[in-house]
Structure 1
Amino acid sequence: MRTPENGAPGTKALPFGLSTIRPLATITNSVRRTLKEVTREIPTCRPPDPNTRKPKYQPPPGACDAHCHIFGPGDKYPYAPNRSYTPPDAPLERFKELQSILGLERAVLVNASCHGSDNTVIVDAIAQSGGRYRGVANSDDSFTEKDFERLHEAGFRGVRFNFVKHLGGMPDMGEFHRTIEKIKPLGWHVDLHFDASDIVEHARLLDSLPVPFLIDHMGRVPTKNGLEQEPFKRLLDLLRNNERCWVKISGAERISSEGPPFTDAVPFAQALIEAAPDRILWGTDWPHPNITRYMPNDGDLVDLIPLMMPDPAMQKRILVDNPHRLYGFTG
């Protein structure tokens, strides 16, 4: 029997019946780990291209950027202490300028994880939009049905969950399913930020979801792996066979291996559109948080639209009709 008197291997007995302690080296390593966690450096994102080019393509009236963000300013809308990154301030005023340059009238503002579960920055932006903006919320397990009802009245129509590994990975699945049950009566969708591998890994989850689900950024499938890569084939199958599945043809800069103007992403968008044209949305993803390689000019992203969908009727369907059907804009 190991006791403070006879000791255990690697420990040292203390007087007066006190319990054993670990060797000094072990304590030092533990302290180092704790200090590293406490003082961890939060990475700062690159800012978006400040010189937005006016695109050659003119979007149709009522066109919607269905995936974009408002960040800060941090002194008014503080960033969450436990965030995985610090974005550049990208306030509403700058976003309005961007929309004017790009010729876009409506927007879906996705509250990103850097603001935690505080959705105030999006609530305030929607309130100033005259019905032209809708929101997608971040939440946690403390949110009640009443909380979601209040967000619905404020213009929110979905809740987002992040599965991307470099941003924290898989969420608490108990919380995930409880949230789904809370939003179901409101007719909301769940926005899923997936890595390509998650499309395969969570196939059963996707098949079982009782609400519409929306997969961001074409599933983040790398273009270098081709149209026949397994995650993309699964994504196409989902669109064809599950009427609750929607996909955003955003994030061309995230999946591209060639860089600007990101035309290697066009065949992927075209395949997704062909699979389910009534359940496709388009977005810029401005201000492009966590971009490590190719920071896009948003004018280039808008000029991909007629390459992805040359038919003007299809452009109207994806830029105007589909987002209106999912989000119910009033302005």
Structure 2
Amino acid sequence: MTAAADGLAVPNSAGTAPPASRPAPPDACDAHFHVLDPRFPSPDAWRPEGMTLADYGRLQTRIGTRRGVLVQAKYHRTDPACLLDALARMGGDGRGIAVVHPNVTDAELRRLHAGGVRGLRFSLWNPADTVTTIEMIAPLGPRIADLGWHVQLHLSAAQILDHAGLIARLPCSVVIDHMGRLPPRQGPDHPAFAAIARLVEGGRTWVKLSGAYLNTEDGPPDYADATRIARSFVRLAPERLVWGSDWPHVTEAHKPDDAVLFDLLSDWAGSGAARDRILVDNPATLYGFI
């Protein structure tokens, strides 16, 4: 999808207007979204609605992105069937981040790679619903390094500080989810920002400019506290940032406006060139888009 649409309603997204900022550049990438598809089994009794790949396609049309990075949802646990099905339908415009346990076979990792997977996610921020553990990261790091994959970490600021040594020792690249989940009032003054900065300066760590609503007490439309955090990362290393919508915003009872979230990036980036780098060049490098 390349052209934003006027008045397009998207499931699990507030508003219908296209972004107010200038249109997305060709090959713009949404580097963080989820698909929850009830066609595929899940142990959850809850059935998701409006969260399929077809629903996400409406969001692409609305905001103007073409490429996307599908992050396996906790709803599907470690079963990659939904992930691989969606990636096959996205063709060369999709890449995937899977969730596995250390007992995964090498043959399965190769199968996932052939299907478009380029990383493993460890979402540990909320210990009440995590599918993985911190102890699983070190055994898997060397195995995915040989594939050119990265570890994607959704950790709290405190967890980043606690495990900074482990993260620094990983032999693969690392992606920090949702701007490091820094406490909004402290933002870049929190010591976890300096820890992330050291990792980024080491040359193998990236940060996702995503989840403004996860990093705010001020809220929309400006998300002023999250904006302060995002701008600090832009000043730190614009060449190590990617942007993601986090659609369908499964943590939120009241869904954000994805056009507003997309517009925030123009404000955060500070220039059109920096914005386009974050939307196109950086994800092409990180995820291997051709």
TM-score when normalising by structure 2: 0.89
Matched with 1:80 is 43
| 2:12 and 2:255 in contact (8 A); partners too | yes
| 1:253 and 1:295 in contact (8 A); partners too | no
Matched with 1:307 is 267
Query: Alignment partner for residue 12 of structure 2, among 44, 48, 51?
Result: 48
Question: Could you tell me which amino acid in structure 2 is paired with residue 328 of structure 1?
Answer: G
Alignment partners' CA distance in 2, 1:174 and 1:265:
30
Matched with 1:39 is none
Query: Alignment partner for residue 253 of structure 1, among 213, 219, 223?
Result: 213
54 and 228 in structure 1: CA distance in 2 versus 1, 3 angstrom threshold: same
TM-score when normalising by structure 1: 0.79
SS at match of 2:90: coil
Q: How does 1:36-185 map to 2 (within 5 A)?
A: 48-49=12-13, 51-57=15-21, 58-72=23-37, 74=38, 76-81=39-44, 87-168=48-129, 171-185=132-146
Please, which runs of 5 or more residues in structure 2 have no aligned partner?
1-10
Matched with 2:232 is 271
Q: More displaced, 47-56 or 99-108?
A: 47-56
* Number of residue equivalences: 278
1:53 Cα deviation from its structure 2 partner: 2.8
Question: Could you tell me which amino acid in structure 2 is paired with residue 306 of structure 1?
Answer: S
Residue identity over aligned pairs, in percent, reads: 38
Which of structure 1's runs of 4+ aligned residues deviate more than 6 A?
none
Q: How does 1:179-328 map to 2 (within 5 A)?
A: 179-239=140-200, 241-261=201-221, 262-291=223-252, 295-328=255-288
> 1:219-239: per-residue Cα shift (whole Å, max 9, x none)?
111222243122223223322
Question: Could you tell me which amino acid in structure 1 is paired with residue 86 of structure 2?
Answer: A
Task: Please report the RMSD computed on the Cα atoms of aligned residues, expressed in angstroms.
Answer: 2.0
Alignment partners' CA distance in 1, 2:127 and 2:252:
12
Alignment partners' CA distance in 2, 1:233 and 1:126:
35
Alignment partners' CA distance in 2, 1:265 and 1:243:
24
1:97 Cα deviation from its structure 2 partner: 0.6
| 1:126 and 1:134 in contact (8 A); partners too | yes
| 1:53 and 1:300 in contact (8 A); partners too | no
206 and 317 in structure 1: CA distance in 2 versus 1, 3 angstrom threshold: same
Q: Which of the two has higher C-alpha Rg? A: 1
275 and 125 in structure 1: CA distance in 2 versus 1, 3 angstrom threshold: same
Please, which runs of 5 or more residues in structure 1 have no aligned partner?
1-46
1:245 Cα deviation from its structure 2 partner: 1.0
1:256 Cα deviation from its structure 2 partner: 0.9
Matched with 2:4 is none
| 1:69 and 1:287 in contact (8 A); partners too | yes
1:88 Cα deviation from its structure 2 partner: 4.2
